[in-house]
Amino acid sequence: MAKTLPKRDVVIMGLGWTGSILAQELTQAGLRVVAIERGPWRDTATDFNIAYMQDELRYAIRKDLFLKPSVEAMTMRNDVSQTALPMRDYGSFLPGNGVGGAGVHWNGYTWRYYPSDFECKSHHIKRYGAKKIADLQLQDWGVTFDEIEHCYDRFEYLCGTSGKAGVIKGQVQPGGNPFEGSRSRDYPTPPLTMPYSSTLFAEAARNLGLHPFPAPSSNLSQAYINPLGVRIGQCTYCGFCERFGCGNYSKASAQTTILPVLMRNPNFELRTDSEVLKINLHPDGKTAKSVTYIDDAGTECEQPADIVLLCGYGLMNVRMMFLSGIGQPYDPKTGKGVVGRNYCYQTGGGGAQMIFDDKKFNPFVGAGALSTSAHDFNADAFDHSNLDFVGGATIGSGESNGRPITNRPTPPGTPRWGSKWKDATAKTYGRVMGIGGSGSSYPIRGNYLDLDPTYTDRHGRPLLRITFDFPDNDIRMQQWVSKQCEKIARTLNPKILTVGAVRKDWNSVPYGTTHNTGGAVMGADPATSAVNKYLQSWDVSNVFSVGASAFPQNAAQNPTGTVGMLAYWTAEAIRDRYMKAPGRLM
């Protein structure tokens, strides 16, 4: 029998970006908050120390910071005709493990989605007609960009994001992204200093009539003190961002922005190495009464609370809703049900790689989000009337790292080992420039999440099953964008030009991106969304599911900026509305 603990106002599953933001906001409002984190405590000084953090073998290859399948595995298949099998190692995407979550090892891109992204279905129907998107399951978010712009602003100023605004209060700004939604003010810090590859890309893009700009980065260009009084350092361009914690205190994370303040708040308590098993509902099923979890000593505990916040990695939020019986599971045969609906990913695989004899780059001088981007082919910035797809991609070029194990580009046809490989990698290193595209991922009826009928975890609970393949629409989109990247690359006259192939048949083994979205999507209609516009469960009014699981579809941009925005948006709804009148907000 579980050990019942003293009641708290709020219990949070997971202490990454969303959990930390919500805990900070709600403890400031006077609530007693406890966070239950499955992984260990992680701190910059002890866990990401500059003396050993730049260990590529330990962190990039052996994945020291990531979730292990022995703790929580998932199964995967491409369609319902296949039998899903467990992923024996996380490869295609890399969930975090421990305090800070995936926000510890992210690259730092801090994008906003476009106004049209939040009204994706209605926007496309209005401009192109319903037939254009008939094969897709697009949905509106239930909120508009203008409603939530201030929450984007709060997250950027928490992080100290470095960038150049494109549109401020309706006025286009020189040097920024002219396609973005109108913002209230500029970024808190100026852009990073761009490398040679980014400069070449910008010049070539401008010559073709495009609009390049520095990508918004939460690897900071200068030291900064955020609104909580936490000082973040200046990026040293060490090239150890993705898959690594930052030992310089210069990449925004929960550790470098919030936790130094939150952990001193007497209203807050953190329990690490403790795994939530399920949410317990009252007999009527309309509200939650507690969560059951296993603590660090292996004891089963029950934590009662007035509010339950799901702040795990998005896929874990969806699984917890399934395991707790919250919301109707989605059925791909009928299109009915909401939990598991509209699972999306990110569409990559295109782009161009160039090898030069007459140009020398320094890839080891890099940062996770050190890049110049162009959004002329993103979202609906361009006319799709005569194209056979909707959606788009960001394209850009920069230097994220020149690490010795994984950054070994060679010309096509080079052997994968031996003296010829050694000679080729020595000659090619520092001579390579890429133009890449990160594409939108739009939902179709057959891409979804559910519980696996066969495989279980160490506690006997069914694993999450992912059924996904890249939709034809998205493949056509990325093929078209890849041709645009090739056009830019050819103007630079490389010695060797290779254009990436875009393929279906999603594979869970090679790395793609850690941008999993959907499954507990937000919206204004309880028939097509698991949570409402405030990320509150339609069915269980004191449960909120916060994170990328709420995205009805995935835009081309990296999702972290929007995840942070939604955390502030939900915190405001709880503090300003729910606390005054507990119950359904819609």
Q: What is the pLDDT of residues 483-507, one digit of tens each?
A: 999 999 999 999 999 998 888 899 9
pLDDT of residue 502: 80
| Cα–Cα nearest to 147, from 522, 549, 526 | 522
Containing 126, the helix (H) or strand (E) segment is: helix 120-128
Q: Which residues contact 484 (CB under 8 A, 6 or more apart)?
A: 377, 395
pLDDT of residue 323: 98
**Residue type, position 186, single letter:** D
Two tokens, residue 173: 């700004």
Cα torsion through 252, 255, 261, 266, rounded to 10? 150
> What is the rounded end-to-end Cα distance, in angstroms, of the chain?
37
Two tokens, residue 473: 């629409």
Q: What is the pLDDT of residues 447-493, one digit of tens each?
A: 999 999 999 999 999 999 999 999 999 999 999 999 999 999 999 99
pLDDT of residue 332: 97
Q: Measured between alpha carbons, how far is residue 244 from residues 90, 94, 219, 248 in Å? A: 16, 12, 13, 11
**Residue type, position 212, single letter:** P
Residue 342 has what DSSP assignment? Answer: E
d(CA 311, CA 33): 13
Model confidence at 206, pLDDT cuts 50, 70, 90, reads very high
Model confidence at 350, pLDDT cuts 50, 70, 90, reads confident
d(CA 442, CA 393): 12
Q: Which residues contact 132 (CB under 8 A, 6 or more apart)?
A: 124, 125, 384, 390
Model confidence at 51, pLDDT cuts 50, 70, 90, reads confident
**Residue type, position 64, single letter:** D
Model confidence at 529, pLDDT cuts 50, 70, 90, reads very high
Cβ–Cβ < 8 Å for 352, 435: yes
**What is the average pLDDT across 214-241?**
98
With 90 as the cut, is the pLDDT of residue 437 above it?
A: no
**What is the average pLDDT across 503-518?**
93
pLDDT of residue 1: 82
pLDDT of residue 441: 97
Is 515 noted as a catalytic residue in this protein?
yes
Q: Is 98 exposed, middle or buried (0-12, 13-18, 19+ CB in 10 A)?
A: buried
| Cα–Cα nearest to 511, from 349, 342, 312 | 349
Length of the chain: 586
Give the domain ranges of the chain.
Answer: 3-578
State the chain's mean pLDDT as an integer: 97
CATH superfamily label, 3-578: FAD/NAD(P)-binding domain (3.50.50.60)
What φ, ψ does residue 200 adopt, rounded to 5°? -65, -45
The pairing of strands 74-77 and 462-467 is parallel
Model confidence at 320, pLDDT cuts 50, 70, 90, reads very high
**What is the average pLDDT across 322-342?**
98
With 80 as the cut, is the pLDDT of residue 349 above it?
A: no
pLDDT of residue 490: 98
Q: At what angle do helices 560-573 and 17-28 cross, to 10 degrees?
A: 30
**What is the average pLDDT across 513-542?**
98
Q: Which residues contact 386 (CB under 8 A, 6 or more apart)?
A: none
Q: Which residues contact 539 (CB under 8 A, 6 or more apart)?
A: 285, 286, 326, 327, 328
Q: Is 195 exposed, middle or buried (0-12, 13-18, 19+ CB in 10 A)?
A: buried
Two tokens, residue 92: 């295609």
d(CA 366, CA 162): 15
Q: What is the pLDDT of residues 126-167, one digit of tens each?
A: 999 999 999 999 999 999 999 999 999 999 999 999 999 999
d(CA 342, CA 519): 6
pLDDT of residue 561: 98
- The percent of residues above 90 in pLDDT, for the chain, comes to 97
**What is the average pLDDT across 30-45?**
97
The DSSP-derived string for 439-495 is E-B---TT-EEEEEEEEE-TTSPEEEEEE----HHHHHHHHHHHHHHHHHHHTT--S
The SS3 call for residue 75 is strand
- The percent of residues above 70 in pLDDT, for the chain, comes to 100
Instruction: Centre a 10 Å sphere on the Cβ of residue 130 and count the other Cβ atoms it contains.
Output: 10
**Torsion sign across C-alpha atoms 380, 382, 386, 387:** negative
pLDDT of residue 188: 98
pLDDT of residue 282: 98
d(CA 564, CA 548): 10
d(CA 438, CA 502): 12
Cα torsion through 376, 377, 381, 384, rounded to 10? 140
Q: What is the pLDDT of residues 382-398, one digit of tens each?
A: 999 999 999 999 999 99
Q: Measured between alpha carbons, how far is residue 61 from residues 89, 300, 403, 406 in Å? A: 12, 34, 11, 8
Place of tokens 């295609």: 92
pLDDT of residue 52: 87
Q: What is the pLDDT of residues 296-310, one digit of tens each?
A: 999 999 999 999 999
**What is the average pLDDT across 330-343?**
97
pLDDT of residue 53: 87
